[in-house]
Amino acid sequence: MRAQPQWEDIYARCLRQNSLSGQEDKLQTLSRELLRWNKTHNLTGYRAWPQVAVGLILDALMLAPYCSGSSCLDIGSGAGFPGLILALARPSMRVTLLEGRRKRVSFQRHIIRLLALDNVISVWGRAGEGTDPLQGQKYDAVTCKALGSLALSLNLCRAYIQKNGVILLPRGIQDEKEILALKENKPADMAVAAYYYTLPDFGGQRILVEGKILPGPPL
């Protein structure tokens, strides 16, 4: 029986599929800086390179095939995932990271400078609040990884989505019931799909929820 590929093999193959093999140095630098800052600022729960590679980089790359258009907003971006990885995978796409905690914004801006990511900006603020610095702006793709319930994430994202844009919500398998309920009772103007994927080793099974605003009736 053929042994299951190790996470390193899957990671390398995923980089090739997303034309990121030539960006490994940047990914290593990003991971190294994340782990270094993490010792002081607690940016993420991941404490070792394999965890970052699987839980942050590979997980972010699962969104890449569905992320199209010229602009992307990552709401509640934390340490910059998945937005930073999508920016590396889609260099022609303008990526905006929206984060409400200053230490995380400082880390994002440090990485943007260090990796010379001209297609990324980091914005300090919170989605949906009165002082939202991006209020009224629209994007071709909007993602939100870990901001409360699925319904909350969906409502936050749809305020920023362009017509014909896409909302991408990566979720854990523990949210499956909520996802199935959403598909049964989705907003009337939205199409919702769910794609299951499995991250290697400790990553486990995940679900990517895709939401698209349906075109309205002709005027």
Instruction: Look at residue 37 and tell me if it is in a domain.
Output: yes
**Helix (H, G, I), strand (E, B), or coil: what is residue 88?**
helix
How much is the mean pLDDT over the chain?
Answer: 92
Reported as a single tens digit per residue, the pLDDT across 70-87 is 999 999 999 999 999 999
Q: Is residue 117 part of a domain?
A: yes
Bridge partner residues of 49 (DSSP): none
Beta strands in 32-176 (DSSP E): 71-75, 94-99, 120-124, 139-144, 161-172
CATH number of the domain that residue 107 is part of: 3.40.50.150
Number of independent structural domains in the chain: 1
Q: Strand 190-199 relative to strand 161-172: parallel, antiparallel, unpaired?
A: unpaired
In a domain, 218, yes or no: no
pLDDT grade for 214, boundaries at 50, 70 and 90: confident
In a domain? residue 2: no
Q: The domain containing residue 102 runs over which residues?
A: 7-213
Residue-wise pLDDT for 175-199, tens only, equals 999 999 998 888 888 999 999 999 9
Asked, for residue 165, whether it belongs to a domain, the answer is: yes
Task: State percent of the chain over pLDDT 70.
Answer: 96
pLDDT tens digits, 126-162: 998 777 899 899 999 999 987 788 988 999 999 999 9
Within-domain flag for 1: no
